[in-house]
């Protein structure tokens, strides 16, 4: 990982140090899990001086959960490069086209089962997990309930600084309901305790139709606001931890982002409050690049991120983080009761080109683990035991982290729903025959 931070402001120097610490932690925990290292104080990575104890513990728990995800691998039977060549560059999928894609690139469960569940949730992969293509290229990471209560509270408190600039667009009479769905008022819940809407924060981008080498990218209007400046200052610790997740899950993409940050050192993200998200692909990056999704709120433990092309859903409870190849995978979030806030961090290939980043060299994150290894079932008890084995308190793991900070009212409050019933079923195939799933 590139750690040259000479050109960065102090805030981003500290963020880079946090990310480096998390990379070292994850390597340490992976070595412990693989039996290559005996846990000991002398071998534990040393945190940077700027991190308070609570932040250090968050870094440790999140890094451990990423290490655990490497133990639970689903694998499709197709090549991501072939799939990318057949995927159209449109956001909303065409059902007929998607059916042909599914026939050529099978999901993790039988196609007939995906069709039968058209109006219902697909099987859920429980616990931290990875999905790869046939060559071990990682298409997504599922890190459910990975953020502690206190971390969610800090994220919510920072998000309140942006709430006043959330906007929606009223649809024009006679237009299709899905036109402009990302900002259309049709898809946002009203009358909540948060102002519903979205705000687009990017330090360098292009207006539609102006992606020319002769045109310099400019910041979004939303990022120029005083609110955004206050949010950026308040987001330092949170940002360093999320940078660490990207640095672990996709090192090349993180290094490229750091190179751009030396020139444009602000965040590139969309913040969304109380929107139902249609199944869609994103068109801003390259097939192997990740959107880093972070979800917060008071909607409890029943939400899922649906990945119909893979034939699965993954837990999307408050406090979850999902790095996924959003240009490849159709993903959507069915409606939930309660208030939901999503951060989506991503990069545009046109901006990377403009700042002389070798975009073609930033491809997929790949799994170093041999694909013929069968992972253990990562249910709640197994996860707690593994965390204890890595020197982490069991109550620092996903069970406690799933109890989200309250999105409505005071940011210090907490609200949860009852857990939904689940049952074991057989794995859909690939190398992860023992991964726990639920209907």
Token pair 């293509």 is at which residue? 133
Dihedral sign from CA coordinates of 383, 388, 392, 395 = positive
Task: Let me know if residue 150 belongs to a domain.
Answer: yes
Cβ-in-10-Å burial (0-12, 13-18, 19+) of 218 comes to middle
Task: Let me know if residue 437 belongs to a domain.
Answer: no
Token pair 């893979």 is at which residue? 310
Task: Let me know if residue 415 belongs to a domain.
Answer: no
Task: Let me know if residue 429 belongs to a domain.
Answer: no
Domain count, the chain: 1
DSSP 65-104: HHHHHTTSEEE-SS-HHHHHHHS-S-SSPPHHHHHHHHHH
Structure tokens at 127: 């616990």
Task: Let me know if residue 72 belongs to a domain.
Answer: yes
Phi, psi for residue 73 in degrees, rounded to 5 = -120, 125
Task: Let me know if residue 414 belongs to a domain.
Answer: no
Per-residue pLDDT 10s for the chain (439 aa) are 655 545 457 888 999 999 999 999 999 999 999 888 777 666 789 999 999 999 999 999 999 999 999 999 999 999 999 999 999 877 788 889 999 999 999 999 999 999 888 766 789 998 999 999 999 999 999 999 999 999 999 999 999 999 988 888 888 777 777 777 677 777 778 878 898 888 888 665 555 444 555 556 655 667 667 888 888 889 999 999 999 999 999 999 999 888 877 766 555 678 888 877 778 888 777 889 999 999 999 887 778 999 999 999 999 999 999 999 999 999 998 878 888 999 999 887 777 777 667 767 788 999 875 555 555 557 788 888 888 888 786 554 444 433 333 333 333 322 333 333 322 222 333 333 333 455 5
Task: Let me know if residue 209 belongs to a domain.
Answer: yes
58, 108, 341, 396, 413 from 202: Cα distances, Å: 27, 35, 18, 33, 30
CATH code: domain of residue 115: 3.60.130.30
Task: Let me know if residue 436 belongs to a domain.
Answer: no
Residue 286's domain comprises: 10-407
256, 329, 331, 404 from 145: Cα distances, Å: 28, 22, 19, 8
Which among 337, 377, 318, 359 has a CA at the least distance from the CA of 71? Answer: 377
């Amino acid at each position: 990982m590139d750690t040259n931070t000479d050109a960065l402001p102090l805030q981003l120097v500290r963020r880079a140090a946090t990310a480096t610490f998390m990379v070292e932690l994850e390597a340490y925990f992976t070595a412990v899990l693989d039996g290559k290292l005996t846990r000991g104080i002398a071998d534990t990575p040393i945190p940077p001086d700027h991190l308070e104890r609570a932040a250090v513990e968050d870094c440790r728990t999140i890094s451990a959960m990423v290490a655990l995800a490497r133990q639970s691998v689903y694998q499709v039977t197709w090549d991501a490069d072939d799939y990318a060549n057949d995927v159209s560059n449109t956001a909303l999928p065409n059902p007929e086209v998607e059916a042909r894609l599914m026939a050529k690139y099978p999901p993790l469960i039988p196609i007939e089962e995906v069709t039968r569940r058209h109006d219902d949730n697909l099987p859920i992969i429980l616990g931290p997990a990875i999905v790869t293509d046939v060559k071990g290229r990682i298409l997504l990471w599922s890190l459910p309930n990975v953020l502690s209560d206190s971390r969610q509270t800090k994220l919510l408190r920072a998000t309140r600084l942006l709430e006043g600039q959330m906007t929606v667009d009223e649809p024009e009479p006679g237009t299709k309901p899905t036109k402009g769905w990302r900002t259309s008022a049709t898809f946002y819940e009203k009358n909540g305790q948060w102002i519903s809407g979205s705000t687009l924060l990017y330090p360098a981008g292009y207006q539609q139709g102006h992606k020319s080498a002769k045109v310099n990218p400019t910041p979004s209007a939303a990022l120029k606001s005083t609110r955004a400046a206050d949010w950026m200052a308040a987001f330092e610790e949170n940002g360093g931890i999320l940078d660490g997740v990207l640095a672990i899950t996709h090192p090349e993409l993180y290094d490229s982002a750091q190179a751009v940050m030396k020139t444009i050192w602000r965040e590139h993200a969309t913040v969304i409050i109380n929107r139902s998200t249609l199944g869609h692909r994103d068109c801003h990056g390259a097939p192997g690049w990740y959107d880093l999704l972070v979800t917060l709120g008071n909607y409890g433990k029943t939400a899922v991120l649906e990945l119909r092309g893979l034939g699965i859903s993954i837990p999307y409870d408050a406090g979850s983080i999902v790095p996924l190849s959003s240009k490849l995978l159709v993903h959507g979030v069915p409606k939930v009761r309660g208030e939901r806030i999503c951060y989506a961090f991503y990069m545009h290939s046109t901006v990377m080109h403009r700042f002389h980043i070798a975009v073609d060299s930033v491809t997929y994150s790949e799994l170093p683990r041999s694909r013929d290894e069968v992972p253990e079932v990562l249910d709640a008890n197994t996860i707690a035991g593994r965390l204890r084995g890595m020197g982490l308190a069991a109550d620092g793991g996903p069970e406690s982290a799933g109890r989200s900070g309250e999105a409505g009212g005071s940011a210090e409050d907490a609200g949860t729903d009852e857990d939904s019933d689940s049952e074991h079923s057989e794995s859909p195939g690939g190398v992860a025959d023992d991964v726990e799933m639920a209907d």
